Structure 1
Amino acid sequence: MIDLKPSINIWHDFKSNQIAGMWLFLGSRRSLQVVHPSITQLILWGILGGCTNSLYSWLVAGQMGDFNSQGLIGYALWPFIALIVGIFLSQRMNQPRLMLVPALLWLVLDTNILLLQCLIQYLGSNGYLNFIPDSIYNGFLPPLFVGLFVWQSLAVIWVFSRALNWPWWERALVFVATIATMVVWQLSVKDQPIWKVEETPPTFAEDAFYAQSYLLDKALDQVQYGDIAQSHWYFLGVAGDSYVDVFKSEIERIREQFDTRFGTFGRSIMLINNPATRLEVPIASKTSIELALRRIGQQMNRDSDVLFLYMTSHGERNHFEIENAPLNLGQVDPKWLRETLDKSGIRWRVIVISACYSGSFIPALQSPETLIITASAADKTSFGCNNEADYTYFGRAFFDLAMREQSSMKTAFDQAKQTVTKWETSQGFEPSEPQWSIGRNMELMLPQLEPYLFPQQNMTTTDITKPQDNEHATTAKKSLF
């Protein structure tokens, strides 16, 4: 039985309708017994529903964008349909006040569900839900919210069909018609949110275009010869993707760390794809990588100097992504990188690749004089690629933590691997399993090269290069050549 009680006052009716919405969520006919329909309540809940949907759309848009009236009109479609249903039911049951009930109940339930979504969206975007694994947050919540949206419409039909004793075929027909309407609606308005962020096509300004040749030549010209009396480290950093700032930030910080702490000033180059650096730093491309490796190979002592190549970007199997829209840049694959390194004449190589599936580069890059470190195994993804971070997970664990504390590459890698695994496990990620692969000659040579990279406690530069050390290093080198 539908009990349409008369209005008492606005706030009493508001409370009753809120309770009716809760019963409706449970699919209970009690919602029809406690609802207090009126034009005032319909307008009030309509305003609340519109504001709540606008707030949610604004939060999803990253608290930016422009108000889109078409999105609000699209939202109003559903209470309008519910109002038409109410008119039909009121005529059929000869109860005029029943006209407002379906639309009112739908608005009450929609407002409460959207408030919950707003809260979760706000907490998630501000980092308060980091303890929830991404597999749950990104894999479970979106389908749940879609299901709730579907249910708030079907619940109205379910309650009325039971209260009015509709035959099964009529219930089924209305359910199917409702779902079909929702599908059409979703396809029509998915590109019309209430708060819309206009996507602008990427551009590459004319001044940046003409500056790039000069920037690359300048970066290559500054690479100095090393002192033949001792070994030197050369650094090349490559940030592959332009649309995620963490790669730029990571290369900038690591290059500074190498120049100031590890002594590569005058022997380091960074290539970055990012709109913010197009007038300051050469972009990363296959051409610039090849020219940088060739220049380093020309300036370094082939027998005693070593290259530290760090590449960070998104990746797939046998694929390191190079992107700087709207430029159409070639992609880096293991075969090309190995051939380019070989052509450069660089013998001693430490190659660190931070990208998803970066372990797939190891087989092609292996050589007796090469150490290869990757942020993930060949079949694993790596983590930490977002605009808010200064480092990727592996970049922070290896460079910002381990290499500041250790004086051995292997010890630093082992520490970083443990740290990354701990972070990933705590957040419910499948471990990325960073990889280490070192050639036989590099394994013997690395202890002789590391003192020139890591600052030594109680050991000055003179101590490192004193004659007896040089004699020992020379003996060790001769055994490898």
Structure 2
Amino acid sequence: MNHENHDNSGALTPMAPSRPAGNVLGDLARNLAAGLGSLLLRVRAPGAVSAGVLAWVVLEVAGLLTSVGFEAARTGSDGRIDPGALPGQLFHLPWLLLCAWLVTRRQHRSDALMQAVVVLAALWIWIDVLWNLVALLPAAFWERLGDNAQWLWWAPLAWGIVASTVTLCRLQGATGFRRAGVLSAVLLVLVLPQLAVGPQSPLWLAAEPRQDPAEAARWQQARSESVIYRQPSLLTEALARLEPGQPGKTDLFLLAVAGHGAQDVFLREVEKVERLFAERFGTGGRSVVLANNPGTVLTRPLATVSALERSLQIIAQRMDDDEDVLFVFLTSHGAENHLFDLSLWPWELEQLTPQRLAGLLNAAGIRNRVILVSACYSGGFVLPLAGPDTLVMAAARADRSSHGCSHEADWTFFGRAFFDEALRETTSFTDAFERARTAVATREAAEGLEPSEPQIAVGETIRARLADLAAGWQTSPGSSPAQAASAADAETSRPLCDGEPAQQTCTEPANRR
């Protein structure tokens, strides 16, 4: 058993006889216990280490194995150790030794140096354990923390600096200005170099997921040169099939865009909306679908800004400016800076902004517009697109995420609530929006998700066009006269809503009583 004593400077010094070199595991347990005690600022813990070069080596090996274990827990046990990451993982060794030497150099004793080295190595193993435990916290927990997340993330490092300084001061009996010197050594020599080089590559490499052969073939097709030659004709053929509106009747046109190519949910949404609108609103000959998906690159036009521009130009030629209405449905991922994601690996595509979309619509001369943007932060599209002739709907606030965009899903949360549920019960787009907003809020609350708070802006002039549409659907399949009459009444009596980036405000129209 080791005994401790205080020298004349007040430092803790080990007084134990030398231990057998073969007692490696016992020394490891003893040193880890001393490291934990030092982390908890226990007074006698630093002097309880079993010092020596072998003890240090064993501690470093234990630290590496601990890191590998946590990496495997995060990424999966199916993987391998990457020897190439070992130099980065051992980058701290010379700095730890230099820090210990600077603190103990006045004593001119190798045992004092190794004692400081071993206790620091043991202490920082526990700091790494804390950091890894923090990293294992679920994503929902970090989302709830919001801006406070950074404080939790950096807390283990801050405590490591405090514990290292206190431990070294106790070992050396440092007082006064010497404590400031110990703190400087810990900060400038032990911590700063590692912060400067940043995170190191993990030793554990997770195995690459095995790709389904059919999925691999889809992506091979997406990057084939056939896409270059096939796409122009696909767009031309799709636009050539567009039928003009019927004179004297308000007709609905559909332009549906699936932006993000790596998740099939967006393709499924636009295809389902295409069928729904053809059956319920008679857009069978007046719809265009642009989709980024590896499985459709040789059968459907890609969703690019250029294809969107050309589609709007041809749709405008088929529409009657005064009578007809265009429904634009955009579904994809969205960014905090309100970029709508248009992407398909390996092609680099221009991203769509609210201002760019507004410019394309204006340049095409399309007046009567219904626009639904289903994406995170899509509320940022509302104000740039709003106007007297426009109904704009967004699946989320400008500063909120929407939900449900998993690869396996058939619909996003808002897409299902608006199209697959509400529009099967009503032919009023504004009424469908209100129903969808309620349904989405209920589902988000049930699943503990942050409310997306969908947004809407209804132009005064578009109301008359939407009422004309509803009246025209009185005799269409799938819509009873009572439903259509109710929808027409809903369009003319609903409050005018102006979407804001983070909220919406509504005022009553002048003719409402």
One-letter code of the match for 2:372? V
- Equivalent residues of 1:37, 1:100 under 8 A apart: yes
Residue 261 of structure 1, CA deviation: 6.7
- The alpha carbon displacement at 1:321 in A equals 5.5
- The AA in structure 2 aligned to 1:168 is G
- Is 1:292 the counterpart of 2:311 in the alignment? yes
Alignment of 1:199-348 (within 5 A): 206-224=225-243, 233-240=252-259, 245-246=262-263, 249-260=265-276, 263=279, 264-273=283-292, 278-299=297-318, 305-312=324-331, 313-315=333-335, 320=340, 322=342, 327=348, 329=350, 331-334=352-355, 336-342=356-362, 344=364, 346-348=366-368
Q: Provide the C-alpha distance between the structure 2 equivalents of 1:205 and 1:191, rounded to a whole number of angstroms.
A: 36
Asked if 1:352 is matched to 2:372, the reply is yes
Q: Measure the CA separation in 1 of the matches of 2:46 and 2:64.
A: 23
- Between the aligned partners of 2:478 and 2:435, the Cα distance in structure 1 is 30
Q: Percent identity between the aligned chains?
A: 26
Q: Which residue of 1 aligns with 2:35?
A: 21
Judge conservation of contact 2:59–2:122 (CA < 8 Å) in 1.
Answer: yes
User: Amino acid of the residue matched to residue 144 of structure 1?
Assistant: L
Q: Is the contact made by 1:4 and 1:32 (CA closer than 8 Å) also made in structure 2?
A: no
Aligned equivalent of 1:183: 192
> 1:74 corresponds to which letter in structure 2?
G
Contact 1:354–1:394, Cα closer than 8 Å, also in 2: yes
Return 5+ residue gaps in structure 2 as ranges: 1-11, 207-221, 493-513
Structure 1 Cα separation of the partners of residues 91 and 468 of structure 2 = 73
What's the offset of the Cα at 1:373? 0.9
Cα distance between partner residues in 1 of 2:421 and 2:402: 17
Distance 1:39 1:68, change over 3 A: same
> What does 1:15-164 correspond to in 2, within 5 Å?
15-37=29-51, 41-56=55-70, 69=83, 71-83=85-97, 93=107, 97-122=111-136, 124=138, 130=140, 132=141, 134-136=143-145, 139-152=147-160, 154-164=162-172
TM-score by length of 1: 0.73
Q: CA deviation at 1:289?
A: 0.9
- Distance in 2 (alpha carbons) for counterparts of 1:270 and 1:322: 14
Residues 29 and 162 in structure 1, CA contact (< 8 A), matched pair in contact too: yes
Give a deviation string over 1:403-438, Cα, whole Å, max 9, x none: 456554333322333354566678998755422222
1:61-93 Cα offsets, whole Å, 9 max, x none, are 799998654543222232443345556777755
**2:435 counterpart letter in structure 1:** Q
CA displacement 1:338-377 (0-9 Å, x = unmatched): 4533554545421112345544544553444432112345
- Normalising by structure 2, we get a TM-score of 0.69
Instruction: Select 2:432's aligned residue among 412, 415, 440.
Output: 412
Distance 1:401 1:118 in 2: 44
1:200 corresponds in structure 2 to: none
Give the residue type in structure 1 aligned to 2:228: F
The number of aligned residues is 452
How far off is 1:253 after superposition? 1.9
Whole-angstrom distance in 2 between the partners of 1:115 and 1:43: 18
Distance of aligned partners of 1:153 and 1:314 in 2 relative to their CA distance in 1, 3 Å threshold: same
Conserved? CA contact 1:271–1:284, under 8 Å: yes
Unpaired runs of 5+ residues, structure 1, are 198-202
Cα distance in 2, alignment partners of residues 183 and 274 from structure 1: 46
Deviation (angstroms), 1:161 = 1.1
Secondary structure, aligned partner of 2:399: coil
Matches within 5 A, 1:368-447: 368-377=388-397, 380-384=399-403, 390=409, 394-399=414-419, 402-403=422-423, 408-421=428-441, 432-447=452-467
Contact 1:238–1:271 (8 Å) recurs in 2: yes
Residues in 1 aligned to 2:299 and 2:80: alpha-carbon distance in whole angstroms? 32
Structure 1 residues 165, 206: CA separation in 2 closer, same or farther (over 3 Å shift)? same
